[in-house]
Amino acid sequence: MEESCTLCLSPVHSKGLCSKHYYADYYQKNREKKLAAATKRYEENREELAAKSLARHHADPAKAKAKAKSYRERNRAHVARKNLESYWNNREARLAYTTEYKKMWRRTVSGQASVAAQNTRRRARLSDATGEKVTARDLRELREAQPCCQKCGSTEELTVDHIVPLACRGLHELRNLQTLCGACNYSKQDREISAWRNGARVFGPWRQR
């Protein structure tokens, strides 16, 4: 009678385990060694592997996208950490690209229409928002108290942002305002502060609510 795997009913491959469980156990016992070897192989053949990956993508774009989506869903925390590391390692280049792209986009017909629609919605929210009246003097004092972006520390293209967005029923008053650079304000959009700020480096006091 054929011997069965101790973990399932499949035929034994080696050491009382089927091929699936045997290689899974082998990988776990040698994980660091395997990862180091894979990293070394990738670094030595980076261009060749990148070309092969691009060729596979062009050969079957739908399959490549489905595979990438499946990987992201299975490794959400890892992908989020890598994206955050990549952002901070290449922040200046990313901001420069984003700024130039926004300038080009705003000159297009669709960009102009989108900006006009956003301004219309914002004026409507401001007119309906409740809270203490914010004066020009209040805004000047805010800029003096917060001379840099409260997320990244930049001093360029500073804007005034609602900590709790008007779209989320935030109040239009001084205690709900903060300074952000244009890039950080654009990335925050109308998200809650807790959802957006996760993992960010903060410069200066950040007022929690």
pLDDT digits (tens, 9 = 90+) for 118-160: 776 777 677 676 666 777 788 888 888 989 988 888 888 888 8
> According to the model, what pLDDT value does residue 2 have?
67
User: Closest Cα partner for 182 from 99, 92, 93?
Assistant: 99
Residues with Cβ < 8 Å from 186, sequence gap 6 or more?
Answer: 98, 102
How far is residue 99's CA from residue 186's CA, in Å, rounded to a whole number?
10
**What fold characterizes domain 91-197?**
DNA Binding (I), subunit A (1.10.30)
How far is residue 166's CA from residue 149's CA, in Å, rounded to a whole number?
20
The list of the chain residues with pLDDT below 70 reads 1-2, 120, 124, 127, 129-132, 197-209
Q: Are 179 and 206 in contact (CB under 8 A)?
A: no
pTM of this structure: 0.41
> According to the model, what pLDDT value does residue 70 have?
93
> According to the model, what pLDDT value does residue 209 have?
33
> According to the model, what pLDDT value does residue 74 have?
92
* Domain residue ranges in the chain: 1-59, 91-197
